[in-house]
Amino acid sequence: MQRTQENPKKKTGFWGWVKRILILALLGAAAFGAFSLYDWYREREVLRQIVARLTAEERVAEVWVEDYRKAPDGRMEKLRLKVMEYGRDGKPLPPVFCDFSVNDVVHFEALVIRLNDQIVMDGQGKSVHLFRRAFALDDRGTTYQSCDINRPLEVPGGYRLESADARGREIEERYWKKFWELALDEKRRESAGVKNAQLEAPATRFLPGKIYRLMLEHDGGLTIQPGTVPQILQGEKVPESGAAPATR
């Protein structure tokens, strides 16, 4: 019986391997380019959403005196404020609770940064404005108490992108870190081309029985307007403040 002779396998020569390597390299470069283009698009989209959330015409918050206690000598002993900010859609954000013991005259500080045309993608300079913190001083100005409404280097409450995946959150947190660095460092603001940054910190005496409305306009004006307590809250018992303050 005659054995069928098998054809020997053709060996790949040097130039054959070079050709294969070049093809793989080109495929890898194409894949990397496609990924880089997609990642660039994702980053632009996340930034667009961040800017859209920040550049509303105004920011609004309401403040209610949850606890107000006086010492036997009549001086204010403890003040607890409930600060509720409202988002762009008018929905309330999770409240922040601020405790003070040095004074019932409380300052609310707002941060306004005017962005240049290069930072905002639509080519129109806009301003970013948000509530920064509340603080109080004693009558002598020697004791200082502060309560953060939006903490530096963090995504402010209510502004986090709900639909972002892990990559989107990483991009968002990186941009917010950059934002806070520009907001708090004058030299870096100048090098980045930010037009200017300013703080507004008006104050008023906070007393029970009133709702205080904070209005921050896009041009940097911050006002505190006292108003009457809604009927639904009148007569409501002021809760004890032993529980830990809620945070965003």
Per-block mean pLDDT, blocks of 10 residues, the chain (248 long):
53 54 60 53 68 66 92 90 85 91 93 62 58 90 88 76 73 80 70 68 91 79 84 56 42
Q: At what angle do helices 166-184 and 14-54 cross, to 10 degrees?
A: 60
Identify whether 245 is part of a domain.
Answer: no
SS3 content of the chain, % helix, strand, coil (to 5): 30, 30, 40
CA pseudo-torsion sign 181, 187, 193, 196: positive
The pLDDT of residue 240: 44
The pLDDT of residue 246: 42
CB 232 within 8 A of CB 210: no
The pLDDT of residue 168: 76
CA distance linking residue 121 with residue 115, whole number of Å:
11
CA distance linking residue 4 with residue 86, whole number of Å:
85
Identify whether 239 is part of a domain.
Answer: no
Identify whether 140 is part of a domain.
Answer: yes
The pLDDT of residue 121: 47
The pLDDT of residue 187: 72
Identify whether 32 is part of a domain.
Answer: no
Amino acid in position 179: F
Q: Which pTM was predicted?
A: 0.66
Question: How many beta carbons lie within 10 A of that of residue 156, not counting itself?
Answer: 21
Identify whether 44 is part of a domain.
Answer: no
CB 87 within 8 A of CB 16: no
Identify whether 45 is part of a domain.
Answer: no
Identify whether 34 is part of a domain.
Answer: no
Identify whether 145 is part of a domain.
Answer: yes
The pLDDT of residue 35: 43
Q: Which residue's entry shows tokens 């870190």? A: 177
What three-state secondary structure class fits 48? helix
Domain assignment of residue 229, given as a range: 50-233
Residue 77's H or E segment, with its range, is strand 76-86
Counted domains in the chain: 1
